[in-house]
Amino acid sequence: MSFNPNDVDLDTVDPVDVICYLNAAENEYNGHLGARISAIFVIFIVSTAVTFFPVIAKRVPRLHIPLYVYLFARYFGAGVIIATAFIHLLDPAYGEIGPQTCVGMTGHWADYSWCPAIVLTSLMCIFLLDFGAERYVEVKYGICREDPEPIMTSAADNSSVTKDAATSRRKNETDTESLTSSEAWIERSFKQQIAAFLILEFGVIFHSVIIGLNLGVVGDEFSTLYPVLVFHQSFEGLGIGARMSAIPFRKGSWLPWVLCALYGLTTPISVAIGLGLRTTYNSGSFTANVVSGVLDAISAGILIYTGLVELMARDFLFDPHRTQDNKRLTFMVLCMLFGAGIMALIGKWA
């Protein structure tokens, strides 16, 4: 017998029927096609430009980007990624497939709290991939993390290769050997970091697809969601670009530009797909909630691991070459907190 919301006996009604009725939604598209089409181009141009900025700041030194501008971009972006994991992914995942939702109270979804299980599985898989990639590089090059190798400082320090204790012990080696060792370090560092970065971008792109589809079909909330998502995607792009700028790509490599463009294109393409489905796609349907909830939970696990391990822990706690300048460290931490705070605030609307 179908649920009749106008005839409910609180003593006998199945709570699942009530929750599913309250959560049910219909297609809310209400026009404004021109504005929605403009969102495709505005989000693409703004988010792509912001994503490219940290990469350009590092790879085009003749622009003379001030050190603290680069640091702001890098660590503000780190804060954005961390807030995205918890506020924009984990919380919506619970709202879509959590225990108190229609999905979470229906069928086998009700047998277990699947949302945190998916997050945990995603996080552990990313850890294993990251660890496996790092160990592969160590074995291939025959060196471990603690082995003394030439240290390449970041572009933010505007300095070249420094000499460590091992270099001084090998000061009588030929110049050719010393360049060789620098190239080996760069290759090793690149292979260790690129795997983690690709995982990060993969998680962010999942999220971008969902919000792009929703922007194409949302109803009265469109006028608020449009500008909010421009900032949302720009801040996430800044985080992507900032993290990419720290990876020692080979000079002339096309990969960072392609990866930046890939992020910039994802949401506009998803908005376009949403517009194509604007009269049929229902973001509140049971199936849409399952798909969106699972993808959000997977992405949350990816970004929680990346944000806490790859960004916060690696840059601030375990980096042996972290700057000792307290002024710079304070600025870096405040930028990260500011980025997390701003992105958490945006979570009120999107």
- Whether residue 81 contacts residue 200, with contact meaning beta carbons closer than 8 Å, is answered with yes
**Tens digits of pLDDT across the chain (350 residues):** 567 777 777 777 777 877 887 777 777 788 888 999 999 999 999 999 999 998 888 888 788 888 898 899 889 999 999 999 999 999 999 999 998 888 998 889 999 999 999 999 999 999 998 888 888 877 876 665 554 444 334 444 443 333 444 444 444 444 545 575 667 667 777 877 888 888 888 888 888 888 888 888 888 888 888 999 999 999 999 989 988 888 888 878 888 899 999 999 999 999 999 898 888 888 888 888 999 999 999 999 999 998 999 889 988 998 877 889 999 999 999 999 999 999 999 998 87
Extents of the domains making up the chain: 19-143+188-348
Say which amino acid occupies 117: A
Helix (H, G, I), strand (E, B) or coil at 162: strand
Rounded to 5 degrees, φ, ψ at 249 are -65, 150
User: What gap in Å lies between CA 130 and CA 311, rounded to an integer?
Assistant: 13
